[in-house]
Homo-oligomer: A and B are copies of this chain.
Amino acid sequence: MGDTATTHHTKSANNGANDNQIGFKSRVSVIGSGSWGSVAAKLVAFNTLNLSSFHDEVKMWVFEETLQSGEKLTDAINRTNENVKYLPGIKLGKNVIADPDLDNAVEDANMLVFVTPHQFIDNICKSLVGKVRSDAEAISLIKGMEVKIEGPCLISTYISEQLGINCSVLMGANLANEIAEEKFSEATVGYRNNREIAEQWVQLFTTPYFMVTPVQDVEGVELCGTLKNVVAIAAGFVDGLDMGNNTKAAIIRFGLREMREFCKLLFSSVKDDTFFESCGVADVITTCFGGRNRKVAEAFARNGGKRLALKHLVHKLNPDIRQIVTLLFLIHRSFDELEAEMLQGQKLQGVTTVREVYEVLRHRGLLELFPLFATVHEICSGCLPPSAIVIYSEKKNIFPV
């Protein structure tokens, strides 16, 4: 598939202004084509058309599917310039070329945008070993790393190590559908050492409706994108208990603070200011007022709360009645059941993350310093009722100023 070059007239109009690096043009590939991947391709494609330091064409690797019509998804995308399955109604730009062949999609690219579901990145990286340019730069838009006892498995680090290339991250308050509709949003680019590379990513993603700020703190930025889901679960409990605005704001604040302290615990390089960026406070707010972690947690508090209250009662009953009452629990729902019902088989990231975080804190003997994270896990796992989320009276002044 060659360079389609459909709109060279646009670029030639401002060749003089932008053509700083004469002779070298970056080639961008987007690996992933869900709704966020498609939006990322749209943002990038807008800029590659208008900046002369980039080739127009943006290849987008698509996990091939056959649509109900019998047409292949890649063919449909290339025919309509829309991701008809995952982002229907949004034109991605004629210079976005869908490609079902991963090797082919990354060939020649020196800027690789990773934006797949987090559970696929392992296989994708393994199959890309030896296939990417040695001078390529990567950026990960993937939220949801694993937090192991020996430390968190940053997806950016994983990509970096597997492919032998540098990897930055882009995180923020980014509900894909809203950006697709060109409603004003912003994001944070977390980079490791090279400010110039960060500026290139900023240039590639910035549009009049999408503002991007670079921060030299790849760990902090990436961890925010995972830990915020834990805070959203806490916020969902508050919603489910009808506790009001003050309570929710307090819980969000505790969560943001514990995110910050947890990140600093894992990486001493993490900066306080990162949590004032889009990836921090803004993404936490978005996730705590929208998002599925909050939603399922709210449902859990409404259902699970009752369930646990009953459970405590059961122990006081005589054994004959106990068995009958235990059966009654079946009409109430566990987190797993709610997940299955509300998310059509997808797992709730926050529940997994907080279990991992809990293990790390327990292993280090630091659970007491993170009462919100600890309580969220204990509620999710059924050890505490949802109302425990606000029992802070004995745990105050955790991080005194």
Partner-B contacts on A (CB < 8 A): 173-175, 178-179, 181, 183-186, 206-209, 211-216, 243-250, 252-253, 256-257, 260, 271-278, 281-283, 285-286, 289-290, 390, 392-393, 396-397, 400-401
Contact A178 B246 (CB under 8 A): yes
> Are A272 and B272 in contact, with the CB atoms below 8 A?
yes
Could you list 9 further interchain pairs (A-B, Cβ under 8 angstroms) beyond the known A184-B392, A249-B285?
A178-B244, A183-B243, A185-B247, A186-B250, A211-B396, A215-B401, A248-B285, A253-B285, A273-B401
Q: Contacts of A214 on B, CB cut-off 8 Å?
A: 401
Closest to A284 in B: B249
* Separation of A174 and B252 alpha carbons in the complex (Å): 14
The answer to whether A213 and B285 touch across the interface, beta carbons within 8 angstroms, is no
Q: Which residues of B contact A393 (CB under 8 A)?
A: 206-209, 211
A244-B175, A281-B281 are contacts. A249–B286 as well, Cβ < 8 Å?
A: yes
Known contacts A253-B276, A276-B257; A175/B396 CB under 8 A:
no
Identify 16 residue pairs between A and B in the complex whose beta-carbon atoms are under 8 Å apart, listed by A's number. A175-B244, A179-B246, A183-B244, A183-B247, A209-B393, A215-B401, A216-B401, A245-B286, A248-B285, A248-B286, A249-B281, A249-B283, A250-B282, A253-B277, A253-B278, A274-B401
Question: What's the minimum C-beta distance from A391 to chain B, rounded to whole angstroms?
Answer: 8
User: Contact between A285 and B252 (Cβ–Cβ < 8 Å)?
Assistant: yes
**Chain B residue with the shortest CB-CB distance to A272:** B272
Answer whether A246 and B185 are a contact pair too, CB < 8 Å, given A213-B396, A393-B211.
yes
In the bound complex, CA of A173 to CA of B174 (Å): 26
Say whether A253 contacts B272, CB under 8 Å: no
User: How far is the CB of A179 from the nearest CB of chain B, in Å?
Assistant: 7
Q: Name the contact of A278 in the complex, choosing from B250, B282, B285 (C-beta under 8 A).
A: B250
Please list the 4 inter-chain residue pairs (A to B) with the smallest Cβ-Cβ separation, ordered nearest first: A184-B390, A185-B246, A249-B282, A173-B249
Shortest Cβ gap from A283 to chain B (Å): 7
Q: How far is A206 from B396 in the complex, measured between Cα atoms in Å?
A: 10
Pair A213/B397 contact, Cβ less than 8 Å: yes
Min CB distance A144 to B, Å, is 19
Interface centre among A174, A184, A207, by most B CB within 10 Å?
A: A184
